[in-house]
Structure 1
Amino acid sequence: MFTLDPVTIAIEGTIERFPVRRIYCVGRNYADHAREMGVDPDREFPFFFSKPASAVVASGAVLPFPSRTDNLHHEIELVIAIGAAGENVTVADAGALVFGHAAGLDLTRRDLQAAAKAAGEPWDMAKGFDNSAPVGAIVRGMPPRSGRISLSIDGAVRQDSDIDRMIWSVEEIITGLSTWVALAPGDLIFTGTPSGVGPIRRGETVRGEIAGVPPVEVTFAV
C-alpha cells in the first residue's frame, strides 16, 4: 500500500512547516490586470478558482517547462495562509482566520486558458497543472495594507505595483470565499495579480517579491 507525503510550506523563522489542504485563487482582483485581460473591473467582481495542493513547489526549485503550452505566463500574488476554520464569516472576524502570508506565483498556460474561455470549458488544465503554484516562506500574521508587489525575469522587472490596489481586501476575500466553502486550517488563498503578466521562456529565472516576506524564485529548465 502506498502512502502520500503531505505538501508543506516553510514558515519563516522556524523549523515548522505549514501543511497545505486546498488552494483557492481570486481572479481579476487588480483593476489594471482586469483591463489588460479585456474586462471592465467596474462591472465584474473577482471570482474564485482552485489549484490542487500538489501544485505547490518551494522557492528555489528548478522546474521542467510545462507540457502542452507555447505561452506560459507569470502572475505574482500575495498568498494568505488560513489557520482557523470559518464559514460565512464577517469582514470583522475574517482576520482571525489568517495564520500568515507569503509571496506566490500563479503560473498559467495562457494559450490553454484562452481556448477554454472560447469554448466555455473549465480552466483546470490551464491553471492547475504540475508545479503551477510556487510559494515562498510564510510570515505569520496579517499582511500590511500596502506594500510593493513585483516580479522580475532574469533581473528585468515585468510586474510592479502595490497590494493596496487590490479591488477586494484580504478580509473581504475571506468573507466572500467563506460563503462558498467552509475554510479550514491549511487552506491557501492566492489574492490576484497586478498588470504586467507575460510569457516565461525556457531557461529563465522568475523572482516574485512582496514587501515584508521572503521572495519566491524558480528557474525553468532549458
Structure 2
Amino acid sequence: MSSPRQASRSQGWNHNLHYRELILEQVNPAMRTALDVGCGEGELAEALSVRGLSVTGLDVNGDVLAVAQKRGCDVTWVQGDVLGGSLEGEQFDLVTAVASIHHLPDFGDALAHLTELVTPGGKLVVLGLGKSSTPMDWAYDAIGAVQHRWYSRYCGYVEGSAPKCFDVPTTYRWIRREAAAVLSGCAFRRLPLFRYLLVWSKS
C-alpha cells in the first residue's frame, strides 16, 4: 500500500487527489505556464500555481468553475470546450488532464488535440480511467479497493461537484496501445485506485 503522503487531511481524500503529487513531480524549473483541462473545482490548478506557474484552468461546467474561483488563487479560469477552440493558438509548458479525457468523444483525437497545446520541450500529463480486462488489471483493482477503504477511513473521502462518468468503454490495454500510436515515446503507467498515468514530452 502506498504512502499516505499524497492525501491531505485538511482537504480530504479521493482517487484523483491521491495522485496529485505524481503530476506535480512532472513540473520542472524551465516550465512557466500550465493548462489544466477539465479543472473542476481547481485543486490541481491551485497546486500548480503555488509551484510558481502561470496557470489556466479550463472547464465546460460553469458551476464547478464558480467553486474554483472562490479559491482566490492566481489562476485564470476559462469556461469552454478544449476541442471547441476555446484556447486556439495558445500553448503551455505543461498540459494536464485529470479524469477528464474520457469525457471527450474520441480518445485518439483528444490526445492529438492536446499535443497541439503543448510547447516544444513541454509535457502532456494525463491521469485517466479505463476498463479492466486482464488478470493484471484485476489485481490492481483489488489493491485499489483495499486502498480506497483504508484512505477513506484515514483521511475522509470527499467528492467534488464536477460531473462524473465511471462507465469507461475503453480498456487499459487499448488506451496504452492507442496512446503509443498517437504519442511517440510516451510513458504509460497502470495505477491502483482505478487510474493510469500517461506522460509525454514534446520534442
- Using the size of structure 1 for normalisation, the TM-score is 0.27
Query: Which is helix-richer, 1 or 2?
Result: 2
Higher relative contact order (CA 8 A, sep 6+): 1
- Using the size of structure 2 for normalisation, the TM-score is 0.29
Query: Which is strand-richer, 1 or 2?
Result: 1
